[in-house]
Each structure stands twice: as structure tokens, then as C-alpha cells.
Amino acid sequence: MHPAVLGIVTIVIGVSACLTYFWGSNLLLDKVIFPPRGPNAGRNINRANLIRPWLFLFPALFALTMYLVYPVVETFRLSVTDRDAGNAFVGAANYTQMLAEPKFWEAMRNNMLWLIVVPAMSTAFGLLVAQLTDRLSWGNIAKSLIFMPMAISFVGASVIWKLVYDARPAGTDQIGVLNALYIWFGGTEPNTWLTIPFWNNFFLMIVLVWIQTGFAMVILSAALRGIPEETVEAAIVDGANPFQIFFKIKVPQIMGTILVVWTTITITVLKVFDIVFAMTNGQWETQVLANYMYDKMFRANDWGVGSASAMVIMLLVTPILIWNVRNARKEMR
């Protein structure tokens, strides 16, 4: 079948199946199983109301369980078994094998660098732009332009930045702006920036900072707007200069939001895959965990070690997960 037809048919079937399910199951509950009439009308209504939430929730819960909860468990199981040995239990063998690989440690080191640099830079730039554009007449246009990279795919961003980092042989005109500037400022040999070990990590991080700054800016900008005017006015009356107002009055008041932005970007960083995959594919010492995992699972076909590295990512996310859940529960009360 032609994919477009398949797509349309799926939308129609999916949507109508969903609607039929919700409508039909409610109807069944109200009209057949517990009809709100006859001698037991009251009891029936109560019973129907006990069941109804689960009718509404069932498809979502089912999908969540199948697509997120079960995989976590299954990945853990795979990480302690060996596929080649008929899925036999091997204990921590996959983990020890992984820990013995220099590539893994390279990925860990780089991931830690990413975790420090990207959230810090994105949040800082986001805060800077949010503050600078706050009272600007054309602030909204500026913000929307800086926000724009959010819509661009990681792969698209990789192409965009590869052009920036492009290098041509010495003596010819440079078409990558970084090398053009480098030569213009007196450099002699153009650099292939993405192949300089260690520093190339930062050239990759810039791409993500470029994307995530807009996100940080939007949220921090809203937080800045939410600061009560009186606190700022009081500081002005007391003779505070603009920098003091920003660092001593505004930043402390939006600390909670800064933390949320920071953790959200941290999670994005932990999952970063496309940028490294498209730009260097982990060569020249730029490996990161997500790409390492992809390498293990789909190139080396080593599900054990691949799952083990996926569990490492999960482990790194867990503190944020717990923190988020606790915050959410606090709000519920």
C-alpha cells in the first residue's frame, strides 16, 4: 500500500478506534453493566464512577507501560544477560567489560564536560538575553530570532555548524567563517576544528548551546516578568545600580526557575545523540554515552554492553527524576 494511503487510513482507524473505545466503553458502563435506574440505581452510579477513570486512563497507561516502563525493566534484564550465550545470566560481566573499555571512559569524560558546559552556558546566555530584551521596544523580535534554533533539528543544526567549521586548504579562500576569521586575525594554517582532540568537544557543545539558549531565555524571561515591581523599585530608591539590581534583587528571586531550566537542559544533554552522530560520529575523541550506546547496540550488535551503557544514562537521569517527582508531589498537596 502507498505510504500516504497507509498514513491516512491509520489516522482514520486510529482516531475512530480511540473514539469508539472511549464512547463505547462509557456507553456500555452506563447502559448495560451499571444502569442508573431500577432498584440499585444509586449503587450503580457509584460503581460506574469507580470504574470510569480507569476506562479513560487505560489506553494511556497501557502505552506508557509498554513503551516506557517495560523497556526500563527489560533493558536492565538485557544488561545482565549475554545474547550470544543464549541469554544466559552473566551477572555484572557486561558492566565490567564496559568499564574496561577506554572508549567508555572517553564517553563518560566527554559527557561530564557536556553536563557542565552546556547547561551553564545556555542558562547564562538565556538569562543575559532575557534581561537585556526585557525593556526593549524590539525585544520580542530579538527573542523570537534567538528562540528560532529550537525549531531546527539537531541534524539540521549540525549541517549549519559544519559549514561554520569548514576548512579549505591553506592559501585558498576560506568558506567556513571560523577559519576565515582565524586567518583574518593573523592565523596561518586553517584548522579542521572538529579533529582537534579535546577542544573539538567544545565545538560540538556550541551547537547545543546555540539551540538551548532560546529555551532558557523564554522561561527565564517569563520569570523575570513575574518579579514584583516593588522589590526593584525599592532597590532603585536605595541607590542600587543596574548590576546590583540584577544580581542581588532579580537573580535570587528567580533561582527556582533557573534550577528548573538547568535540570531540563541537563536531561537534554544526557540524551544528546544526533549532533555527535552527524558531525563526528564519536571520532577524534568526541564520543558521548548515547552515541556509544548506539554503536554498541546497532553496529557491534552487542546488546549486553549496549544495555549496560543505557542503564548508565538512566542512572545519571535518576536524581533529576526523583527531584522532579518530589516537586510534583509537593504541588499536588
| Displacement of CA 104 from its chain's centroid (Å) | 21
Nearest approach, Cβ of residue 205 and another protein (Å):
15
Complex with another protein: residue 71 or 91, whichever CB lies closer: 71
Complex with another protein: residue 16 or 96, whichever CB lies closer: 16
Interface with another protein, residue 56, by CB under 8 A: yes
Nearest approach, Cβ of residue 19 and another protein (Å):
8
Distance CA 99, CA 76 (A): 17
Which of 104, 110, 121, 149 is in the footprint of another protein by CB under 8 A?
149
Longest dimension (CA), the chain: 95
The three grid cell numbers given for residue 47, joined into one nine-digit string = 460503581
Complex with another protein: residue 70 or 198, whichever CB lies closer: 70
Q: Scanning residues 82 to 121, which ones bind another protein (CB under 8 A)?
A: none
Distance CA 144, CA 126 (A): 12
Q: How many residues does the chain have?
A: 333
Q: Scanning residues 157 to 216, which ones bind another protein (CB under 8 A)?
A: 158-164, 166, 172-177, 180, 210, 213, 215
Nearest approach, Cβ of residue 39 and another protein (Å):
21
Distance CA 116, CA 129 (A): 20
SS3 11: helix
Instruction: Using the rule CB under 8 A, give the single segment among 108-116, 144-152, 187-195, 196-204 that binds another protein.
Output: 144-152
Nearest 5°: phi and psi at 38? Answer: 80, -170
Kindly provide the residue ranges of all beta strands, DSSP E only, lying in the chain, ordered along the sequence.
81-82, 88-89
Nearest approach, Cβ of residue 292 and another protein (Å):
10
Query: Which residues 6+ apart lie within 8 Å of 176 measured at CB?
Result: 163, 164, 165, 166, 167, 168
Total of chain residues touching another protein, rule CB under 8 A: 116
Interface with another protein, residue 28, by CB under 8 A: no
Complex with another protein: residue 22 or 202, whichever CB lies closer: 22
Q: Scanning residues 252 to 311, which ones bind another protein (CB under 8 A)?
A: 257, 260-261, 264, 267, 270-271, 273-274, 277-278, 290, 293-294, 297-298, 303, 306-307, 310-311
| Displacement of CA 200 from its chain's centroid (Å) | 22
